């Protein structure tokens, strides 16, 4: 199975600040077709997860450009700029390159 390691486990940020979350995989996430199927999700307190980013860097419909994904191979990153109160929650990376699909353990974003 592909193990997804997220760091840090938690982050404290001031409103308006910028943060980065790292997601490293135990194997390359590059599919045989050359694409990298890495997504980012946010789970706000008491809610279901919601999709933010798919295929490394593509923002899902309605997602602010304050969210950006980057990286390749085994090293992926989510950046959030100008943090707003509605951004708080737990962020997960997830890979769909191979079965079983796996997720990182999550990064909790809190207010400083």
Partner 1 sequence: EVQLVESGGGLVQPGRSMKLSCAASGFTFNNYDMAWVCQAPKKGLEWVATISYDGSSTYYRDSVKGRFTISRDNAKSTLYLQMDSLRSEDTATYYCARLNYPGPYMDAWGQGASVTVS
Angstrom distances, CA of residue 108 to CA of 37, 50, 73, 95:
23, 15, 24, 19
Please, what is the minimum distance in Å from the beta carbon of residue 5 to partner 1? Answer: 12
Tokens of 35: 């694409």
- What are 93's strand-pairing partners? 40
Based on the shown chain and the rule CB under 8 A, indicate whether residue 91 belongs to the binding site for partner 1. no
Based on the shown chain and the rule CB under 8 A, indicate whether residue 67 belongs to the binding site for partner 1. no
Judged by beta carbon, residue 26 or residue 35, the one nearer partner 1 is: 35
Whether 104 and 87 have beta carbons less than 8 Å apart is answered as no
Please, what is the minimum distance in Å from the beta carbon of residue 71 to partner 1? Answer: 16
Whether 78 and 64 have beta carbons less than 8 Å apart is answered as no
Whether 98 and 1 have beta carbons less than 8 Å apart is answered as no
Based on the shown chain and the rule CB under 8 A, indicate whether residue 101 belongs to the binding site for partner 1. yes
Based on the shown chain and the rule CB under 8 A, indicate whether residue 60 belongs to the binding site for partner 1. yes
Please, what is the minimum distance in Å from the beta carbon of residue 14 to partner 1? Answer: 26
Based on the shown chain and the rule CB under 8 A, indicate whether residue 35 belongs to the binding site for partner 1. yes
Tokens of 12: 């404290």
List residues near partner 1 by CB under 8 A.
35, 37, 39, 41, 43, 48-51, 54-55, 60, 92, 94, 96, 99-106
């Amino acid at each position: 199975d592909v193990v997804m390691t997220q760091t840090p486990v938690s982050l404290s940020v001031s409103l308006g600040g910028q943060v980065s979350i790292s997601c490293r995989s135990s194997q390359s996430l590059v599919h045989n077709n050359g694409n990298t199927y890495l997504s980012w999700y946010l789970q706000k307190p008491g809610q279901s997860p919601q999709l933010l980013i798919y295929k490394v860097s593509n923002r899902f419909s309605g997602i602010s450009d304050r969210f950006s994904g980057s990286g390749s191979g085994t090293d992926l990153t989510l950046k959030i700029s100008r943090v707003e109160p509605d951004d708080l929650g737990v962020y997960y990376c997830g890979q769909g390159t191979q079965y079983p699909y796996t997720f990182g353990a999550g990064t909790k974003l809190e207010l400083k």
